[in-house]
Amino acid sequence: MGIVKCVRTILSSVLVAVLILCATPASACSVCGCGDPLLAVNDPAAINGRFRLQADTEYLRIDAGTDGRPGFTDQLTQWSYRLNAVYRPIDALSLTVTLPLVSKSIHTVGGGTDVASSSLTGIGDLELGARYALWTSVNLGARRVQEFAVSAGTAIPTGPYNAAAADGSLIDPHGQLGTGAWGPFAGIHYRIEQGDWLGFASVSYRLRTEASYFDGSKYKFGDAVLWSTHGQFRPARAVALDLGLDGRYARADRATDPDGTVTDAVGNTGGTVLSVAPGAYYNVNGSVWLFMRGQVPIYKRLFGEQDVKPSVTAGVQFQAL
């Protein structure tokens, strides 16, 4: 009973720490996100099982200067409700699919006013990914496993992206439920398990194709380099504590107006951000895990005027096989 009480105390402390960190205003990444696109593949339930289902919710808030209106700010609030599955047909291969339900709203604030520019809810872009281990080393005596893998995947333009405002104009691409474009990525990954410890590092590059809209305009979100370095500790079989650094460098977005005017670097988009990423996982029983993760920026060098709150994700995992 003493060990169980100690474990619960540790878990509670980590969860409280995540909540406190995520309540602190800071600057962070833009809509494209930070860190390993296949982070879910490294969750404890995904590593130990063949087939895992996950449902989670993520909250994030992004502020950016309003184009052409000095002193005004566009505030984007986004809730994502995601269904995710990770399947390992063989030990070396992990396949993942994520379907999001997204709720987005934009408010333009400035000059003593707060105007709701848009509010949309619906299906977002489907995400597919795979990770394959090219090399694996197992040392049973030392309780050590090492793995070097490659990963690839893409975001698929399944979410609506041509929504119009009340006046008939196109809603800002950042406020749309989908990007209207493909987002393929590829990367490399290294993982080491040593007893009750696990560490991994990864780097990926994500491309963005261009979306075309009903008004004749086009938009391309910036290509990005994404990286993560994480360490996990298992103080007990039912608990996993995670701490990492998630980062991103993204090019500025590109826009083409209906008249053909091209803006190669859209203002207030792109840049570099590095975030501390704490997390905790608790095994309720043999097949069900509860978890919470956060991203808290510690360094940023973003282009133009950008400011977002840290993001927080919480959910449940079910290890089916």
- More reliable by pLDDT, 182 or 39: 182
**Per-residue buried b or exposed e for 56-75, using 16+ beta carbons within 10 Å of the residue's own CB:** bebebebbbbbeeeeeebbb
Angstrom distance (rounded) from CA 124 to CA 118: 16
Mean pLDDT of 169-175: 92
pLDDT in tens, 135-154: 999 998 888 999 999 999 99
Token couple for 186: 């590829």
Q: Please, are residues 111 and 71 in contact by the beta-carbon 8 Å criterion?
A: yes
CB atoms within 10 A of CB 139: 10
Angle at the Cα of 299 from the Cα atoms of 297 and 305, rounded to 5 degrees: 85
Q: What is the pLDDT of residue 310?
A: 85
95: nearest Cα among 69, 133, 125: 133
Q: What is the pLDDT of residue 277?
A: 92
- Mean model confidence pLDDT for the chain: 84
Mean pLDDT of 241-264: 94
Q: Residue 103: CB partners within 8 Å, gap ≥ 6?
A: 78, 79, 80, 81, 120, 121
- 151: Cα separation from own chain's centroid: 16
166: nearest Cα among 132, 98, 133, 120: 120
When pLDDT is cut at 50, 70 and 90, the band that residue 306 belongs to is: confident
- Residue 116 amino acid letter: A
Residue 267 pLDDT exceeds 70: yes
Strand order in 262-263's β-sheet?
Answer: 211-212, 218-220, 254-256, 262-263
pLDDT in tens, 87-119: 999 989 999 999 999 999 988 888 778 788 889
**First vs last C-alpha separation in the chain:** 30
Most confidently predicted of 69-83, 184-198, 296-310:
184-198
Q: Please, are residues 177 and 124 in contact by the beta-carbon 8 Å criterion?
A: yes
